[in-house]
Structure 1
Amino acid sequence: MLHSDDTPIPAADARWFGGQTAEAAAALRGWIEAIGGAPVRSVQRIAGGAFRTSARLTLAGGRTLFVKVDLGTAPRTPFDLERESRVLAALAGRGRAPRLLGYDPAGQAMVLTCLPGSADFAGIADPQQRARIEASFVEALAETHRIDLAGLALDHLPAGRSIGQAIAADLALWRDLLVERVADPDPVALFALAWCAARVPADARPAVLVQGDAGPGNFLFDASGVTGLVDWEMAHVGHPLEDLGCVLARSLVQPMAPADRLLVLYNAASGLAWTKAELRYATILVMTRFSVPINLALAAGDPGLDLVLTDSYFRLSQLSLLRVIAEAEGIALDETVPERGARPALGFAFDHLRALLATVVRPAIGDDYARYRLDGAVGLLGYLGAALAEDTATPPEPATKRLADATATIAAGGETLHATLQTLFTGALWREHLMRDMLGPLHGRRVAI
């Protein structure tokens, strides 16, 4: 929504500031105006992800600010706005990052400088301009990877680790988050974590600062090239090719350049000779990491979560994740869609729909009869959920045992590994088939390396 410059923002638009109440929104707005030194005159919301929202604010006098707000639906991990604010403060504009102007822990919001340019990479029609922006983007990533970690002086971005050491530490963090916080973790996520840990490269080269969520939508550009990289909450110490892996993982919903071109561009920008096998591992690592916070969010069941967006990406990425792991192992999977398959657990979907209708849709309906009919629909969903409830008499095996079993399967290799990958992949194909209407044009998309 975009308000005209001379129209004050009404309290009803408090959601652009992340306020759950008019009072909280007013407090957050007052904090923003104190930083900007002038009243806010217009708000333009920026399309965001499932967990956070952003807006470009124009103040009286014409100054623009960028505000990022946590929606409260994100799973609790170390990779939050507070962490991002510390990274941006330490970067102080390096890596083409925006500068931090303020962080409000109470409102879970950041105010940043508003970088020039557009984020609409998909809207570039000219192939030559598209190629120029791709090259400039990869150069910006290479600049980020050359930043001195010791100079940042952040305890969560330690200097001195090798690539292999950094990957092992990162995998341990995400493994512990998944195993400790999700009662029944997704089997593909568990298997991928075990595979990544078993195949950590013995790479003694120094780890670098990784932006962590690179790709279309998370950079700005103009006619001269990339003007900024945004969304730094996933920044960590790791393998430089992880940022290319992010681009490929995000290509399921936001396509960019193919893997071969990205690798050529990065080798030219970095002056090094990275291989496709190294890029393949880095991409698997990224998709595995992405699966953990999504699994945490789905398990939490917050009604504010965009279930369609989150679950659609999760299921698509699982297919690509298994497929690329199979490629790394030299295994050819049968990609025939099965005629039958196990019924997925549906309890969360019914509970989510009921909560969404009751807490988000119902309060927005003023017509008494429409609310009466909606209440009936909510009750019907409860009945359907109970009728289709899963048998929970047998609890799932502990995640630690399932991880150990996956590790043993990977170590065994051969037909044992092939059969396990095929079983997981066939199950994911069936799930995609069931979700075909929900996926729409995304149905059938795969990450290609």
Structure 2
Amino acid sequence: MAPADLLPEGLAAAVERASGARVTAVRPRGGGGASRDGAELDLAWPDGRTASAYMNYDVHKAGAGDDAAFLREAAVLRALSGPLAGAGVRVAPYFASVADQRALVCGMVSGNDRFGGIADARQRSALARDFMAQLAALHRIDVAEAPVAGMGPVEPAEAFIKRRIAALRSANSGRAWDPLIHLSLNWLDANVPTDMPAPVIVHGDAGPGNFLFEGERVTALLDWELVHYGDPMADLAMLCLRMLFQGFVPLPEAFAAYEAAGGHKVDLARVRYWRLLFQTGFARRSRYDDPDAPPPPNLGMNLVYSTIHRRVLSEALAEAAGIDLPPVALPEAPIGAHDRSFAIALADIRDSIVPRISDQQAAVKAKGMARLIKWWRAIERFEPGFHAAEKQEIEAALGLEFANHAAAWSAFRDEVAGDRIATERAIILCNAHETRDAALMADAMGGLADTKFAPLE
């Protein structure tokens, strides 16, 4: 099989045109996060130079943001690999980008990305200090004097916030309209921070899992797809989100290291605000059942991330609004009628399929399928009882009776959309809804099932 045959049609040729190098080998790999595919490439230039590279790509544009976001990512990596290299921000060297297929090709960098696997406490602290120093170095770049070519105009953080809220409101429409997103955007709109500093380059997805390291030194910051100009506190807030999925040092220690390395004074109120804004964006419900939406590369992991983000958003919104959340009823239920068939399928994936797969990308997808099967099993067993409990709660809140759960949930959505229900009651009902959805996904999430934001102080 020719190397080009392992990639979407036309992608290898486009990379060759953009890089000036011939693609001599392709090894498919798992992509970045839940939205992007990936591959390792071997490249050969006419002058005899060769290099190995990693390419993220998203030919369906599934979950990767707008075209401008991709162009910003390519632009900042090009700059930090070249004219801004003196800033000391370590990145994988930029080779090429293909905008119409969201393909970004950078040189391979040595290092490990599993911070959580470090057992030595001294190494963890030293490495965390170096990572926070990298963020401080990024935030010290004077973009007023030297804006990054291709990243667009430098604008105040308030403009980014207003545009982001407007975009999320616009997207929260039609069949996918979401009361939790609506309530969160209402709070964010009413509480925009004031007196933010001059804008800096914000990595946008900084934290464990998105940097490589060797020993106590960061070798490269990765995954710049959310880069933008804005408030430096936004990167500290994103660190909180990354820590939902991977361990790091305690946040007070990380923040102190950031300030000691020359970063901005940490403002916890702004960190909380950005944390909620980013969480609202990540918590948009996955439309896996939308026939017009392209399928995500890994539906199982996509649903895991979405479910966690939504539950945590409901909790963070309640905290921001000063609401004490009551316990959520999770009715027990007998084993479902098809439990044995689910168990057999899971055993086949675990014991026979995954051990025999040499293709890393296929193995990742097989594990994602196992997560889906666990979810389907929980739906069969628990969803009827969960729906009954939620119907009763909505009836009590609205003072009405409904024929079934679907009618009750539809009426609740209408009341929130019209701002006819008290905000506190609405947030409590949304939290109960997301807590139950998370309970259905708990087996598929494994150790992530109970993850929460780490304390800020």
Can you list the C-alpha shifts for 1:199-236, whole angstroms capped at 9, x where unaligned? 11122422322111112221111225112212112111
1:1-12 aligned within 5 A: 10-11=1-2
Can you list the C-alpha shifts for 1:249-277, whole angstroms capped at 9, x where unaligned? 12232232333233222232345432333
In structure 2, distance between residues paired with 1:76 and 1:59: 25
1:27 matches 2:13: yes
- Select 2:449's aligned residue among 425, 443, 447: 443
Q: Displacement of 1:239 after TM fit?
A: 2.2
Unaligned runs of 5+ in 2: 334-352, 354-375, 385-403
Structure 1 match to 2:169: 175
1:187-206 aligned within 5 A: 187-206=179-198
1:275 matches 2:267: yes
1:442–1:268: structure 2 CA closer, same or farther, 3 Å change rule? same
SS at match of 1:338: coil
1:158–1:25: structure 2 CA closer, same or farther, 3 Å change rule? closer
SS at match of 2:207: coil
Unaligned runs of 5+ in 1: 1-9, 342-360, 362-380, 410-415
Structure 2 match to 1:74: 62
In structure 1, distance between residues paired with 2:23 and 2:160: 45
1:89–1:261: structure 2 CA closer, same or farther, 3 Å change rule? same
SS at match of 1:97: coil
Q: Displacement of 1:400 after TM fit?
A: 11
Kept in 1: contact 2:15–2:97 (CA 8 A): no
Q: Displacement of 1:394 after TM fit?
A: 11
Q: Displacement of 1:116 after TM fit?
A: 3.2
1:211 matches 2:203: yes
In structure 2, distance between residues paired with 1:296 and 1:207: 34
In structure 2, distance between residues paired with 1:193 and 1:335: 24
1:120-159 aligned within 5 A: 120-150=114-144, 151-154=146-149, 157-159=152-154
In structure 2, distance between residues paired with 1:272 and 1:148: 13
Q: Displacement of 1:311 after TM fit?
A: 1.6
Structure 2 match to 1:186: 178
Q: Displacement of 1:12 after TM fit?
A: 8.2
Structure 1 match to 2:75: 86
Structure 2 match to 1:235: 227
Which amino acid is the alignment partner of residue 50 of structure 1? A
In structure 2, distance between residues paired with 1:99 and 1:296: 35
SS at match of 1:334: coil
Q: Is 428-437 or 329-338 further displaced after alignment? A: 329-338
Can you list the C-alpha shifts for 1:73-112, whole angstroms capped at 9, x where unaligned? 5147325534422332344454323332222235442222
Kept in 2: contact 1:42–1:59 (CA 8 A): no
1:434 matches 2:440: yes
- Select 1:221's aligned residue among 208, 213, 225: 213
1:38-437 aligned within 5 A: 40-41=24-25, 43=27, 45-46=29-30, 48-59=32-43, 63-72=51-60, 74-75=62-63, 77-78=65-66, 80-93=69-82, 94=84, 95-150=89-144, 151-154=146-149, 157-161=152-156, 163-179=157-173, 183-292=175-284, 295=286, 299=290, 300-339=292-331, 405=419, 416-437=422-443
Which amino acid is the alignment partner of residue 48 of structure 1? G
In structure 2, distance between residues paired with 1:298 and 1:143: 43
Kept in 2: contact 1:263–1:276 (CA 8 A): no
- Alpha-carbon RMSD across the aligned residues, in angstroms, is 3.8
In structure 1, distance between residues paired with 2:329 and 2:132: 37
Kept in 2: contact 1:210–1:236 (CA 8 A): yes
SS at match of 1:137: helix
Kept in 1: contact 2:32–2:223 (CA 8 A): no
SS at match of 1:303: coil
Can you list the C-alpha shifts for 1:149-177, whole angstroms capped at 9, x where unaligned? 2422557543252x434322332233334
In structure 2, distance between residues paired with 1:209 and 1:203: 18
1:448–1:324: structure 2 CA closer, same or farther, 3 Å change rule? farther
Can you list the C-alpha shifts for 1:128-149, whole angstroms capped at 9, x where unaligned? 1111111111111111122222
Kept in 2: contact 1:121–1:216 (CA 8 A): yes
Kept in 1: contact 2:31–2:56 (CA 8 A): no
1:433–1:66: structure 2 CA closer, same or farther, 3 Å change rule? closer
Q: Displacement of 1:237 after TM fit?
A: 2.2
Kept in 2: contact 1:70–1:81 (CA 8 A): no
Q: Displacement of 1:287 after TM fit?
A: 0.7
Which amino acid is the alignment partner of residue 331 of structure 1? I
Structure 1 match to 2:341: none
Q: Displacement of 1:426 after TM fit?
A: 0.9
Structure 1 match to 2:396: none
In structure 1, distance between residues paired with 2:288 and 2:191: 27
Q: Displacement of 1:403 after TM fit?
A: 5.7
In structure 1, distance between residues paired with 2:116 and 2:35: 22
Q: Displacement of 1:119 after TM fit?
A: 1.9
Can you list the C-alpha shifts for 1:334-393, whole angstroms capped at 9, x where unaligned? 13343389xxxxxxxxxxxxxxxxxxx9xxxxxxxxxxxxxxxxxxx9xx99xx9x9999
